Amino acid sequence: MKYLWTQIIAVSLFISALVTLNCVAQEKNNVLISSKETITVDSTQYYKEPFRPQFHFSPEKKWMNDPNGMLYYKGTYHLFYQYYPEDIVWGPMHWGHATSSDLMHWQHQKIALYPDELGYIFSGSAVMDVNNTSGLGTKENPPMIAIFTYHNMEFEKAGKINMQTQGLAYSLDEGQTWKKYEANPIINNTTLRDFRDPKVFWNEDTKTWNLVLVAGDRAQFYTSSNLLHWKLESEFGQNNGAHGGVWECPDLFKLKTENNQEEKWVLLVSINPGAPNGGSATQYFIGDFDGKTFTTSQKDTKWVDNGTDNYAGVTYNDTPNGERIFMGWMSNWNYARNTPTTNWRSAMTLPRTLSLSTIKGDYVLQSKPVAQFDQQLTTAFSKEKIEIKKGSEKTLNYSNFNQSQIQFKAANKNLKLVFSNEVNDSLVLNYDAQKQQFSIDRRQSGKVNFEKSFGEKIHTTPTPNLISKSIDFQIILDWSSIEIFLNGGVYSFTEQIFPNQPYTKLSIQSIDNQEIKNINIQSVKDIW
């Protein structure tokens, strides 16, 4: 009898363990999409749709554009983003929200900000008001503050020019729930059509809050002691940099140069249209900022990324060790609404560390994937040396270039790399050492016909700053993107691709005698 009871207890414990396991699994896959709706996802299919990035952030479903409110607080990286929860095209903007402890694995959170009577919630930024300067929290429980643009659709429809103002919202539970500030808007607008995308930050030099936003063809700089009342101090840019389109999503921060420890301020400004290879891109200015005014002697236009798909990128506030971490929206307004994905649209770039170097006496903003990315890699193939005889090619076969990193060093000579698959899709990267230019040809890379401008032409970038005898290549492919970093990010290129099948071949070609050293092909782990 005793034995029977032991057996019954053991069996029921086993069953309850199974049930618990099952519940945990279900809980994990019971994903909160909005406060109104919960859907259950089959875990084997979760984040496995065609073209779904496996190690870049993308929303669980529906439309996403710019990263917003990027902030680190108490071990958590917050990522907010422009989000439309009803469709896979742009619509009334909300702020979506995700969190991460390592910038690689993300937990989806509830939608943070919903549109209200003042308008849609456009791009903006967030800070921790640690000393409660705003008075919206307490010293013991300081508020997290988001400052964003209100876009008033009623005003737009009525033809009123002043449809964009800046609003504030605060959270007393580390971003879980939000309240709009009752005296919104905090920065009003009477005259400007384009007046948006505030980036707020604490300026340690002047011990005050700063805010930079864009006003049509220029940036405006503000100061405040309490995050609520802002004073316009100066403007910059009407006669500087690229002006092929309206200015958007500015950012301003200090960086030390790597070689001589000089400190400079970096101003990022996105622009749409007007990018070198069409549509949207982000330019930067290196200069000085005294807390009120930004000045620069820079004459040329400089680009953060030379590919077609890195837009509206800004950096994290308050990172550990002051590391400057950047993320951009991996798309381009030329075709963002038309890309061939089904239930979601768009992803972010990999998070990247920014640094400042000087090359040929000029400042260069470099970007490369954050160190945490290395944890995601497993080596599949490596070889110390591959020689390419003049006019010949070597081919590497690998079952899944679509989720890989390829790294090597090549002589600073001509080099062509062709990724291809069984159905004749091909993606061609070409470095021309004589012309000093790098090009990406995605015209035959897979699905390209969803919008004319996507696969229309080869994208070419002058590369005069590749002055070393050999060039370091770092190439990262996810299922619908390629990111290329030359010489540790002296040049970076981000482009979307939609191959019909995974690329399985990499052909390395040269019209010179080329030598490839320390080639390493690694698979990248799924993050979802």
223-282 binders of ligand FRU (CB under 6 A): 248-249
313's CB contacts (< 8 A; 6+ apart) are 67, 249, 251, 268, 270, 282, 304, 305, 326, 327, 328, 329, 349
Select 65 or 494, whichever has its Cβ closest to ligand FRU.
Answer: 65
310 lines the binding site for ligand FRU (CB under 6 A): no
What is the closest distance, in whole angstroms, from the C-beta atom of residue 171 to ligand FRU in the complex? 20
**What is the distance, to the nearest Å, from the Cα of residue 16 to the centroid of all Cα atoms in its chain?**
43
Select 248 or 425, whichever has its Cβ closest to ligand FRU.
Answer: 248
**Member of 122, 150, 285, 303 binding ligand FRU (CB under 6 A):** 122
Select 196 or 352, whichever has its Cβ closest to ligand FRU.
Answer: 196
Contact 354, 366 (CB under 8 A): yes
Distance (Å) of CA 304 to CA 79, 108, 275, 308, 490: 20, 28, 11, 11, 10
What is the closest distance, in whole angstroms, from the C-beta atom of residue 93 to ligand FRU in the complex? 5
Select 66 or 441, whichever has its Cβ closest to ligand FRU.
Answer: 66
Query: 3-class DSSP state for residue 491?
Result: strand
| Of 466, 495, 465, 499, the residue nearest 482 (C-alpha) | 495
Q: Which residue among 66, 305, 425, 478 is the active-site one?
A: 66
**What is the distance, to the nearest Å, from the Cα of residue 412 to the centroid of all Cα atoms in its chain?**
29
- Which residue's entry shows tokens 């995700």? 98
Side-chain half-sphere CA neighbours of 491 within 13 A: 20
Token couple for 365:
């903003």
Contact 300, 343 (CB under 8 A): no
Select 65 or 522, whichever has its Cβ closest to ligand FRU.
Answer: 65
CA-to-CA distance for 202 and 319, rounded, in angstroms?
A: 12
What is the closest distance, in whole angstroms, from the C-beta atom of residue 124 to ligand FRU in the complex? 8
**Member of 54, 123, 152, 166 binding ligand FRU (CB under 6 A):** 123
CA-to-CA distance for 493 and 325, rounded, in angstroms?
A: 17
Compute how many other C-beta atoms are within 10 angstroms of the C-beta atom of residue 411.
18
349 lines the binding site for ligand FRU (CB under 6 A): no
Select 325 or 336, whichever has its Cβ closest to ligand FRU.
Answer: 336
CA-to-CA distance for 370 and 73, rounded, in angstroms?
A: 18
Query: 3-class DSSP state for residue 364?
Result: strand
What is the closest distance, in whole angstroms, from the C-beta atom of residue 383 to ligand FRU in the complex? 42
What is the closest distance, in whole angstroms, from the C-beta atom of residue 248 to ligand FRU in the complex? 4
**Member of 70, 88, 93, 497 binding ligand FRU (CB under 6 A):** 93
What is the closest distance, in whole angstroms, from the C-beta atom of residue 249 to ligand FRU in the complex? 6
Select 245 or 488, whichever has its Cβ closest to ligand FRU.
Answer: 245
Select 248 or 483, whichever has its Cβ closest to ligand FRU.
Answer: 248
The DSSP output letter for 5 is H
149 lines the binding site for ligand FRU (CB under 6 A): yes
Select 113 or 427, whichever has its Cβ closest to ligand FRU.
Answer: 113
Contact 480, 498 (CB under 8 A): yes
What is the closest distance, in whole angstroms, from the C-beta atom of residue 314 to ligand FRU in the complex? 11
**Member of 52, 56, 58, 65 binding ligand FRU (CB under 6 A):** 65
Q: Number of helices (H) and strands (E), helices first, in the chain?
A: 2, 36
**Member of 129, 197, 472, 495 binding ligand FRU (CB under 6 A):** 197
**Member of 82, 224, 355, 494 binding ligand FRU (CB under 6 A):** 82
9-28 binders of ligand FRU (CB under 6 A): none
Residue type, 227: L
Contact 527, 55 (CB under 8 A): yes
Query: 3-class DSSP state for residue 12?
Result: helix
Compute how many other C-beta atoms are within 10 angstroms of the C-beta atom of residue 384.
8
CA-to-CA distance for 495 and 454, rounded, in angstroms?
A: 10
Compute how many other C-beta atoms are within 10 angstroms of the C-beta atom of residue 118.
16
Element of type H or E holding 337:
none
What is the closest distance, in whole angstroms, from the C-beta atom of residue 191 to ligand FRU in the complex? 18
Query: 3-class DSSP state for residue 269?
Result: strand
Select 213 or 388, whichever has its Cβ closest to ligand FRU.
Answer: 213
- Count of residues touching ligand FRU (by CB under 6 A): 12
**Member of 52, 55, 66, 287 binding ligand FRU (CB under 6 A):** 66
What is the closest distance, in whole angstroms, from the C-beta atom of residue 99 to ligand FRU in the complex? 21
**Member of 52, 180, 196, 368 binding ligand FRU (CB under 6 A):** 196
Contact 236, 243 (CB under 8 A): no
What is the closest distance, in whole angstroms, from the C-beta atom of residue 488 to ligand FRU in the complex? 28
526 catalytic per annotation: no
Residues that bind ligand FRU (CB under 6 A): 65-66, 82, 93, 122-123, 149, 196-197, 248-249, 312
Indicate which residues carry an active-site annotation. 66
